[in-house]
Amino acid sequence: MPLLDALARLNDAYPWSHNAHYHPWIMRQLPPRFGRALDVGCGSGDLVRLLATRAHEVHGIDSDERIIGAARESTAAGLPVTYAVADGTSYDRGGPYDVITCVAVLHHLPLAETLAHFRRQLAPGGTLVVVGCAREDTRVQQLLGLVSVPLNPLFGWVRNRGRRAAAPPLAMTAVTRQPDIPYTELVREVRRVLPGARLRRGLFWRYTLVWNEAR
C-alpha cells in the first residue's frame, strides 16, 4: 500500500531504538543505589552504562560476540562494568543480583526456563525488569499496534531532529526475530512462575514486566 510504503521510507530515514525509548522507564523502577546488576541481551551496552550510574557492579551478557565487542569499545574503562558472550538461560557468574534487566530478548529464549532462571539469580529483595515483545492476540494489543504505526516515524523525526540518519543506531544492528508466543499465553506463564508480577502492554510493540523477589 502506498501509505505503508511511505511510512516505511520515513522509518528508514529517521531510525530510532524502541528499546532505548524504555530505558528511562526501566531506571524509574529501580532503587537509587544497588549492588550487582545483570543486563541480559545487553547489545551495544547502552542500558549497562545507565545501570552503572547507580550500581556497584554491572554484568552485561549477549550471545552475539560482535555486539559485545562493540559494547566493550563504547564503555569507558573506569566504569564498574564487565561484558561476556553468554546465554541468558545459563549464565550464573557474579550472582545473586539485586537487579536483572532484559530488553527485547525474552522472546529469543525458552520462556518458562528463562523466567525461572532469572528468579533463582535474584537476591532477596531484588528487582527483575523486562521489556519484551509478544505476538498480538487481543483487540487492545492490535489497537496499540495500529496507533504505534503512525507514531513511529513521528518519534523518529523528533529524535533525529528532522535530520536524515546516515546509519541506524548501533543498538539497532543486533540480531532480531519476530515473537511467536501470544501475549495471553505469556501472561499465564508469567503469573505461574512469577506470582505478583506487574505486566502492562505498551506502545511500539512492547510489554513491560516488573517483579520483586520477596525478602
Looking at this protein, which amino acid is placed at residue 23?
H
> In sequence order, which residues have a C-beta less than 8 Å from that of residue 181 and are 6 or more positions away?
107, 111, 134, 135
The string of DSSP letters for 155-171 reads HHHHHTTTPPPSS--GG
pLDDT reported for residue 60: 97
141 CB neighbour count, 10 Å cutoff: 18
Q: How far apart are the first and last CA of the chain?
A: 54
25: helix, strand or coil: helix
Separation CA 71–CA 123 (nearest Å): 26
Looking at residue 172, its pLDDT comes to: 59
pLDDT at 56: 96
Single-letter amino acid, residue 96: P
Q: Return d(Cα 207, Cα 72) in angstroms, integer.
A: 28
> What are 173-201's pLDDT values in tens digits?
666 778 889 999 999 999 999 999 999 98
CB 200 within 8 A of CB 208: yes
The pLDDT assigned to 4 comes to 46
| CA distance linking residue 118 with residue 106, whole number of Å | 11
- Contact between 79 and 54 (Cβ < 8 Å): no
Nearest CA among 123, 19, 112 for reference residue 62: 19
pLDDT tens column, 38-69:
999 999 999 999 999 999 999 999 999 999 99
How confident is the prediction along the chain (215 residues), in pLDDT tens digits per residue?
A: 554 455 456 455 655 477 888 999 999 999 999 999 999 999 999 999 999 999 999 999 999 999 999 999 999 988 999 999 999 988 888 889 999 999 999 999 999 999 999 999 999 999 999 999 998 887 777 787 777 777 766 666 666 666 776 666 666 566 677 888 999 999 999 999 999 999 998 887 899 999 998 75
pLDDT at position 204: 78
- For residue 41, give the C-alpha cell: 541481551
pTM, two decimals, is: 0.88
Category of 106 on φ-ψ map: left (φ > 0), alpha (ψ -120 to 50) or beta: alpha
What element of type H or E holds 116?
Answer: helix 111-121
- pLDDT of 19 reads 83
Q: Residue 7: its pLDDT value, please?
A: 47
Residue with cell 554484568: 59
111-to-42, 187, 196 alpha-carbon distances in Å: 18, 11, 17
